[in-house]
Amino acid sequence: MLGVLFGKTRAKRASGPVAGADTSGPAVTLPATMADVTPHWLQAALKEHPEFHGKTISAVSATSVGEGIGQMSALARLVLTYERSKGPRSIVVKLHPPFEAMRAVGIRYEMYAREAAFYQSLAAQSGAPTPNIFFCGWDPASQRSVTVMQDMTRWHWPDQLTGATLREASLCVGAIAKVSARQWGSDFAQYPWLPDTRAPVLQNMISDYRQCVPLTLDRLKDYVSPEAKNACERIAQSIDWLLDELAKPPLVLTHFDSRLENFVFESKGSSRLAMIDWQLVARLRPGWDLAYLAGSSLTDKDRRKFLPRLRRQYLSGLRAAGVRGYGPDKFDIDFRLNTMGVTVIPIIGGAAFDMENKRSVELFGSILKRSLGSVLDNKSVELLPP
């Protein structure tokens, strides 16, 4: 989840197997819990990475991070001690989550396999400021995942619940537009692990969405107005149609989970950022990432105020990067379709998260409220078949 490359620096190739290409599992046994991330394990996993080559890790000291933020993963910051050498003072390790219901969602949607494959085969040419990964692996046999990354815990992490400022949102949209433009209408055949919404793994969303709607709306009833509830139920009726529409070209590389806390800034006032957590990366119609950012990470008031400017910025970014023949009218349709599509995240995730975690309740509740508010504001349900 952490780590960053900026500017003209390119992402370093991650270690471990490429999901979708090698199903034999990683060369080292992946840890079951953070207690298994020992100096011995780190030494075996990191020995081929240039920053650790020839270095001996003698001790680690771990502190949990990201409580209530890393919903689909367990996160810890590790301070490292070396024998007679120097290396990165600290790293962050990301494992599959201890909460079994959320882990089951991650496995069902191939999230851990997709993130490993992205970092190993596509990150460098994605156009995104992606994390610097020291090791990334997924083992289908044990259903364990691990990513070892540069420590960025001292960087600025905007608060999802407070919402993005206009400056933060604009910087995020700038990064999103570059990714969309770089992969505009690309032939993704060489990445069989990268799904569109017609792929079987994402077709799971049809039954899951319909089954989760009543449960999530009940669990988070304090966040949902009667109008929003009706809109959500209408989307559920036509979710198969919607996913089919979102798979029609042009398709672009899509982060998918582009909420505010998946953007990290070098400092509070910095323009440098990293896009993190690529577990849901997919290929979709343009505008998904903007629709989700606006529908999850801006307060209702700020979304209504900032969205026209952010939409213009996204289109300007596409044009500046050479995209032609895609104007406001086409984008308006795509954006409205995507505002409905992005509700799959709070609806499906909202049925599985730990209700004992107060921040998780607030997080999923606010994202559900805001995303359905965006659906209503943009009159998106009018696009659904009768």
Query: Do 53 and 172 lie in a common domain?
Result: no
What backbone phi and psi angles, to 5 degrees, belong to 282? -155, 180
Q: Is residue 364 part of a domain?
A: yes
What is residue 26's predicted lDDT score, i.e. its pLDDT?
Answer: 65
Rounded alpha-carbon distances, angstroms, from residue 54 to 47, 81, 136: 7, 14, 20
| Token code pair at residue 41 | 């394990």
Query: Environment class of residue 57 by beta-carbon count within 10 Å: exposed (0-12), middle (13-18) or buried (19+)?
Result: buried
Report the domain count for the chain: 2
Q: Are residues 190 and 89 both part of a single domain?
A: no
Assess whether 247 and 371 both reside in one domain: yes
Q: Which of 150, 181, 203 is the last residue of a domain?
A: 150
Is the entire prediction scored with pTM above 0.85? yes
Per the CB < 8 A criterion, the answer to whether 60 and 78 are in contact is: yes
**Cβ proximity of 16 and 135 under 8 Å:** yes
- Predicted local confidence at residue 293, as pLDDT: 98
As a whole number of angstroms, the distance between CA 105 and CA 250 comes to: 28
Rg of the chain's alpha carbons, rounded to an integer? 20
Check residue 18 and give its pLDDT: 34
Clarify whether residues 124 and 51 are in a common domain. yes
Same domain, 216 and 145: no
End-to-end CA distance of the chain: 41
Nearest to 22 by CA among 277, 193, 278, 142: 193
Whether residue 173 sits in one domain with residue 53: no
Maximum mean pLDDT: which of 26-35, 51-60, 347-356: 51-60
Claim to verify: residue 199 and residue 262 sit in the same structural domain: yes
Non-local (6+) Cβ contacts of 150 within 8 A are: 2, 3, 4, 88, 91, 92, 131, 132, 134
Q: Report the alpha-carbon distance of residue 287 to residue 251 in Å, rounded.
A: 10
Same domain, 256 and 364: yes
- Residue 322: which CATH number? 3.90.1200
Does any domain span residue 203? yes
Contact 138, 112 (CB under 8 A): yes
> Which CATH number belongs to the domain containing residue 59 in this structure?
3.30.200
Query: In the predicted model, is pLDDT for residue 10 greater than 70?
Result: no
Strands (E) across the chain are located at 57-64, 74-82, 90-95, 133-139, 144-150, 252-254, 263-265, 273-275, 282-284
Of 88, 120, 150, which one is at a domain's C-terminal end? 150
In a domain, 376, yes or no: yes
Residue 11 lies in a domain: no
Q: What would the mean pLDDT of 31-58 be, rounded to a whole number?
A: 94
Q: Which domain-ending residue is among 119, 150, 181? A: 150
Residues 104 and 190 in one domain: no
**pLDDT reading at 12 higher than 90:** no
> What is the CB neighbour count within 10 angstroms for residue 324?
8
Helix, strand, or coil (residue 90): strand
Residues 193 and 120 in one domain: no
Whether the per-residue pLDDT at 245 is higher than 90: the answer is yes
pLDDT tens-digit series, residues 251-310: 999 999 999 999 999 999 999 999 999 999 999 999 999 999 999 999 999 999 999 999
- The residue among 2 and 223 whose pLDDT is bigger is 223
Calculate mean pLDDT across residues 348-376. Answer: 93
- Quick: pLDDT tens for 172-204: 999 999 999 999 999 999 999 999 999 999 999
Residue 240, domain member (yes or no): yes
Contact 218, 351 (CB under 8 A): no
Residue 67's pLDDT band (boundaries 50, 70, 90)? low
Summarised one tens digit per residue, pLDDT across range 106-157 is 899 999 999 999 998 999 999 999 878 999 999 999 889 999 999 999 999 9
Q: Which residues does residue 136 pair with via DSSP β-bridges, in sequence order?
A: 147
What pLDDT sits at residue 6?
20
Q: Point out the least confidently predicted range of 44-48, 100-104, 229-233, 267-271.
A: 100-104
Q: Does 238 share its domain with 142?
A: no
Q: Beta 263-265 vs 252-254: how paired, if at all?
A: unpaired
Range of the domain at 232: 166-383
Percentage of the chain lying above the pLDDT 90 cut: 81
**Most confident stretch, 92-96, 100-104, 233-237:** 233-237
pLDDT > 80? residue 368: yes
Quote the mean pLDDT of the chain. 90
User: 273 lies in a domain?
Assistant: yes
The answer to the question of residue 309 being in a domain is yes
Whether residue 1 is contained in a domain is answered as no
- Helix (H) or strand (E) holding 318, with range, is helix 300-320
- pLDDT score recorded for residue 71: 55
User: Poorest-confidence range of 56-60, 102-106, 217-221?
Assistant: 102-106
- For residues 51 and 197, state if they share a domain: no
